[in-house]
């Protein structure tokens, strides 16, 4: 029961952090676009997207820390956990120095990569430099964040994340309200990275004393152990970076800086639709490691199916709303000038988002049980396919071509690889995975989709308040359909809850 309670707390706190991370930018984004303008905002997005590639230098170390800390904690082998933490700290301290040097080169080259207006080139370079230094700081402090993940303290991480989001937003508001621009935003981004890094480190040192170690060069055996796991993760990280973060760069290089704003609005909404389930899915890696360490294969398969259902169940109402009513929403949120173009891009990207969420639980479990070698290979294939297709289609159909390149490649690869993976590595038949994990919960959203579409046509909202009120009215349709389709599971869950309540009362008596 303690494990279930910890899981519930972690998921709840992750959702709070996720809600903060969605609601705050939701209200802040129109404010930023209005004060910076579409061109300067496009430069900001390009700078952040460019700097994000420096995260590749992590080399997959974060996931290896989570893996080995969670596994060795389960079997009470503190010494091995300390070796993994020490090796990661040693590596990342060196990488932080490398990133600091690379930041200078990136800043110098930035105006030559993209069509940045002359009057914004200097500001763009300084922005890239400062944001890159922020990544350098996070590279070292991220070790302690991974330790907290490995010991299942997502509640602490969520509190830090929520505080970071609020502090960043407050600073951005004051900076732009006082007429400052890109450079001031970049300085604030660096300051937030420094403070959040120190808080994360202090929390890890207090909660998990074994990570109070001296940084020194690790032994060869530890390096080989970590690298054997991290290299596969590193390949996946590269692929994910190309799939999800190259689109803005392609738009900026082949079209214009202003066009990046239209694309990023759609891209951010597509990512928001997946964050709700991602807040729960991030807890599956240490859970899978613990289950594997204890030999509980049946529970692993149950985690796969229930986790997939839950992930899609959380994403589908949001995804369907954005698919059918995204243009209306963007018009109310960012302005009618963005409605048609960004709305169409959003509809295309939501196809890829469905497949990402549908297989997210399988992906987290693969990390947790060290079975992600095959997914690394297929992720590489997807990245090459995605980038190639986007580069071809951007020249034919412009902005929409970049989005189609992402969605087509992702749909094909995910349909081919993941059903076979769960059958081979987890022993779950393909038909069972597709029906129990994907189709059964997806069917539940159809009545909700019909009602949402009808409301958008016959009751067109004139404000965001009315729009969200309409969603609140229609959500019970989805909830009732889920209860009808999953009635046996709901009854079983209620019986277990009732039994636990009786047990608790008896214990107290």
At 223 the three-state DSSP class reads helix
Say if residue 509's pLDDT is above 50.
no
**Which distant-in-sequence residues (6+ apart) come within 8 Å of 27 by Cβ?**
none
Q: What angle do CA 360, 278, 333 make, to 5 degrees?
A: 120
pLDDT tens for 372-406 read 777 888 888 888 898 999 999 999 999 999 999 99
Distance CA 85, CA 309 (A): 34
Q: Which of 234, 354, 364 is nearest to 292 (CA)?
A: 364
Note the Cα 283 to chain centre separation in Å. 13
The two structure tokens encoding residue 509: 């008596």
| Helix pair 78-113, 61-74: axis angle to 10 deg | 160
pLDDT tens for 148-184 read 887 778 788 888 888 888 999 999 999 999 988 889 9
Helix ranges, 151-256 (H): 154-177, 182-207, 220-245, 247-254
Say if residue 124's pLDDT is above 70.
yes
pLDDT at 52: 82
Say which DSSP state 116 is in: -
The gap between the terminal CA atoms of the chain, to the nearest Å, is 19
The two structure tokens encoding residue 469: 């009120």
Long-range contacts of 448-451 (CB under 8 A, 24+ apart): 448/317, 448/320, 448/474, 448/475, 448/477, 448/478, 448/481, 449/320, 449/324, 451/477
* pLDDT band for position 1 (cuts 50, 70, 90): very low
* Residue 19 contacts residue 164 (beta carbons within 8 Å): no
The two structure tokens encoding residue 211: 């990570």
The two structure tokens encoding residue 110: 């930035």
pLDDT at 451: 94
Q: What angle do CA 64, 66, 69 make, to 5 degrees?
A: 100
pLDDT tens for 61-104 read 777 777 777 777 767 777 777 777 877 788 788 888 888 888 89
Distance CA 62, CA 236 (A): 13
Measured CA distances, 509 to 496, 497, 500 (Å): 20, 18, 14
Phi, psi dihedral angles at 506 (to 5 degrees): -65, -40
CB-based burial label for 207 (10 Å; 0-12, 13-18, 19+): middle
Q: Tokens 């809850």 — which residue?
A: 497
At 289 the three-state DSSP class reads helix
Say if residue 2's pLDDT is above 60.
no
Distance CA 247, CA 46 (A): 10
* pLDDT band for position 9 (cuts 50, 70, 90): low
Distance CA 11, CA 140 (A): 26
pLDDT at 396: 92
Q: Which of 153, 200, 159, 146 is nearest to 7 (CA)?
A: 153
Note the Cα 306 to chain centre separation in Å. 20
């Amino acid at each position: 029961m303690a494990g279930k309670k910890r899981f519930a707390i972690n998921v709840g706190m992750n959702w709070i952090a996720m809600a903060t991370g969605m609601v705050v930018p939701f209200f802040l984004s129109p404010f930023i676009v209005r004060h910076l303008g579409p061109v300067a905002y496009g430069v900001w997005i390009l700078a952040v997207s460019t700097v994000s590639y420096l995260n590749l230098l992590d080399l997959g170390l974060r996931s290896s820390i989570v893996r080995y800390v969670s596994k060795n904690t389960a079997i009470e082998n503190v010494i091995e956990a300390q070796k993994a933490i020490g090796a990661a700290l040693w590596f990342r301290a060196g990488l932080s120095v490398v990133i600091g040097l690379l930041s200078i080169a990136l800043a110098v080259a930035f105006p030559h990569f993209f069509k940045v207006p002359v009057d914004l080139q200097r500001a763009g370079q300084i922005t890239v430099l400062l944001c890159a230094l922020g990544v350098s700081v996070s590279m070292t402090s991220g070790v302690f964040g991974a330790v907290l993940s490995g010991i299942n303290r997502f509640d602490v991480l969520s509190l830090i994340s929520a505080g970071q989001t609020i502090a960043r937003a407050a600073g951005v508001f004051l900076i732009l309200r006082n007429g400052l621009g890109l450079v001031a935003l970049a300085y604030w981004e660096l300051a937030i990275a420094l403070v959040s890094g120190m808080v994360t480190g202090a929390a890890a040192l207090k909660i998990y004393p074994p990570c109070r170690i001296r940084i020194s060069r690790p032994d060869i055996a530890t390096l080989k152990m970590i690298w054997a796991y991290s290299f596969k993760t590193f390949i996946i990280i590269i692929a994910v970076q190309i799939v999800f973060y190259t689109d803005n760069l392609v738009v900026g290089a082949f079209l214009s800086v202003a066009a990046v704003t239209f694309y990023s609005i759609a891209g951010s909404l597509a990512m928001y639709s997946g964050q709700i389930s991602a807040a729960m899915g991030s807890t599956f890696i240490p859970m899978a490691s613990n289950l594997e360490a204890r030999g509980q294969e049946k529970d692993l398969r149950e985690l796969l199916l229930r986790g997939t259902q839950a992930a899609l169940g959380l994403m589908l109402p949001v995804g369907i709303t954005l698919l059918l009513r995204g243009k209306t929403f963007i018009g109310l949120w960012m302005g009618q000038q963005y409605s048609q173009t960004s709305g169409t891009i959003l509809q295309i990207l939501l196809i890829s988002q469905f497949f990402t969420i549908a297989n997210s639980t399988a992906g987290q479990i693969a990390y947790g049980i060290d079975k992600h070698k095959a997914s690394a290979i297929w992720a590489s294939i997807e990245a090459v396919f995605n980038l190639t297709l986007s580069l071809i289609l951007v020249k034919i159909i412009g902005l929409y071509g970049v989005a189609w390149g992402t969605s087509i490649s992702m749909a094909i690869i995910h349909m081919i690889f993941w059903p076979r993976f769960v059958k081979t590595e987890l022993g779950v038949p393909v038909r069972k995975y597709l029906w129990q994990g994907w189709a059964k919960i997806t069917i539940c959203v159809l009545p909700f989709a019909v009602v949402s579409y009808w409301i958008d046509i016959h009751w067109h909202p004139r404000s965001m308040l009315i729009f969200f009120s309409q969603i609140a009215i229609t959500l019970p349709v989805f909830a009732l359909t889920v209860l009808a389709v999953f009635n046996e599971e709901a009854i079983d869950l209620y019986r277990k809850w009732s039994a636990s309540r009786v047990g608790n009362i008896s214990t107290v008596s």
